[in-house]
């Protein structure tokens, strides 16, 4: 039986919902030991950083070598500006403007 695109999207959503909802079912109100709490936090941050890397620098399983340097420079600027100004949006906007300029220049 052929699965339609609609059904595929529905199943992806169902799996995403399960991943989001199951911890709420089993761990609501639980108090984790400090080390476990920290590990969960670091794991979440680690996944987000990995996603940043994969989204910015890769396409189709390969590193986008032409675009990667300018995106890396823009990411570095975004990080520095966000750190200095304590504003994620200011950092993001600075990086976006820089990557736009670099894409036109290079």
Partner 1 sequence: MSFAARFRQGMKAAIPIWIAFVPSSIAWGIAAQDHGLSLAEVVLMSAWVYSGPAQFAVLGPLAEGKSALQVLIAGFLMNLRFLPMSTALAPFFRGVKRSQLLLASHVISASSFIVPYVQFQKERAPTGADSARAPDLDGYGRLAFFLGVGVTSFLVWVTGTASGFLAAFGFPPGFEEALKFILPGYFAGLLVVEMKGWAMPLICFGSLVAALPGAVVSPGWGWLVTAIVVATLGCGIEEWKLRGSR
d(CA 61, CA 59): 6
- Count the residues of the shown chain that bind partner 1, applying the rule CB under 8 A: 80
Decide: is 20 part of the binding site for partner 1 (CB under 8 A): yes
CB of 40 to partner 1, least distance (A): 4
User: Considering the rule CB under 8 A, would residue 37 count as an interface residue with partner 1?
Assistant: yes
CB of 52 to partner 1, least distance (A): 4
Least distance (Å) between residue 49 CB and partner 1: 4
| Window 51-80: residues binding partner 1 (CB under 8 A) | 51-58, 60-63, 67, 70-71, 74-75, 78-79
Examine residue 45 and tell whether it contacts partner 1 (CB under 8 A): yes
């Amino acid at each position: 039986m052929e699965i339609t695109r609609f059904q595929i999207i529905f199943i992806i959503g169902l799996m995403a919902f399960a991943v989001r909802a199951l911890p709420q079912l089993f761990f609501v109100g639980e108090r984790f030991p400090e080390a476990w709490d920290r590990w969960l936090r670091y794991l979440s941050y680690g996944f987000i950083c990995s996603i940043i890397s994969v989204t910015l620098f890769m396409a189709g399983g390969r590193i986008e070598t032409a675009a990667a340097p300018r995106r890396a420079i823009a990411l570095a600027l975004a990080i520095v500006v966000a750190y200095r100004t304590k504003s994620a949006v200011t950092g993001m906007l600075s990086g976006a403007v820089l990557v736009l300029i670099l894409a036109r220049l290079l």
